[in-house]
Structure 1
Amino acid sequence: MKNTIIEYCLQKKGAVKDYPFGPDPLVIKIENKMFALIFEDMGKHTLLNLKCDPVIADNLREQHGAVRPAYHMNKKHWNTVAIDGSLPESDVFAMIDHSYDLVVKNLPKSVRESLTEMS
């Protein structure tokens, strides 16, 4: 599933891979702003840090054991999602979409418009 997640993230307009912290974790950015951070949990599961609206973040944490406050991130605005098989792929993709959209929403208008012009 890790490769599927990476591929899904990189299909987002303007998304690029980065390794600002060394060989692990993999960071996916849009206009130098992180929207996904992908790493391993001591070989057990893939973990995915995603930006999230604080109200939605709290709801997701209450509803899903695989979603918790983000490791090494602002816990109000970021969740860590354990890719352990307990969440449907469609839910994980929806969380990635939400993270990407939150980051894009805060980019300058000219940058947002250039993203919509990309094919």
Structure 2
Amino acid sequence: MKYAWVDAYCLAKKGVQKDYKVEWEATRYMIRGKMFALQGGDKEGKAIITLKLEPMMGELLRNQYEDIVSGYYMNKEHWNSLYLDGNVPDGVLRDMLDKSYQLVFHSLPKKVQREINGPE
């Protein structure tokens, strides 16, 4: 797979848990039960990863890269899917993963954020 580093990259982030949702045939990456990335396939079985982004950022990326589309089986405004056999640069996918993680992390209660970050 082109982006073989994705699993380790997601799991290296603070507070991330991974599971496999059998009904969806997809791997989920979550922070305290809130998903920020979903890796699976589309209806043709093509490998995709779906990430949460600010709507304007998602639209910008979809206009820039043909391999980034509105979230597959997700809210089309907030979620975006990237085809893993496409030509999106690694740096762009890393940035998307970082932004998705941060969006979900900052939606958590401040107390939970502090628990995840640990003592400063």
Q: TM-score, normalised by structure 1?
A: 0.89
User: In the alignment, is the contact (CA less than 8 A) between 2:37 and 2:50 conserved in 1?
Assistant: yes
Give the deviation of 1:117 after TM superposition: 1.2
Q: Deviations over 1:63-106 (max 9, x none)?
A: 01011101110000000011224111111111000000000010
What RMSD, in angstroms, separates the aligned Cα atoms of the two structures? 1.9
Unaligned runs of 5+ in 2: none
Q: Deviations over 1:11-66 (max 9, x none)?
A: 1101111123447200110010000000134454x200000000111101100101
- Kindly indicate whether residue 101 of structure 2 is the aligned counterpart of residue 112 of structure 1: no
Identify which range, 25-34 or 3-12, moves more after superposition: 3-12
The list of structure 1 runs, each at least 4 consecutive aligned residues, that deviate by more than 6 angstroms after superposition, is: none
Identical pairs, percent: 38
Q: TM-score, normalised by structure 2?
A: 0.89
Give the deviation of 1:2 after TM superposition: 4.7
- Kindly indicate whether residue 78 of structure 2 is the aligned counterpart of residue 51 of structure 1: no
How many residues in Structure 1 have an aligned counterpart in Structure 2?
118
User: In the alignment, is the contact (CA less than 8 A) between 2:62 and 2:70 conserved in 1?
Assistant: yes
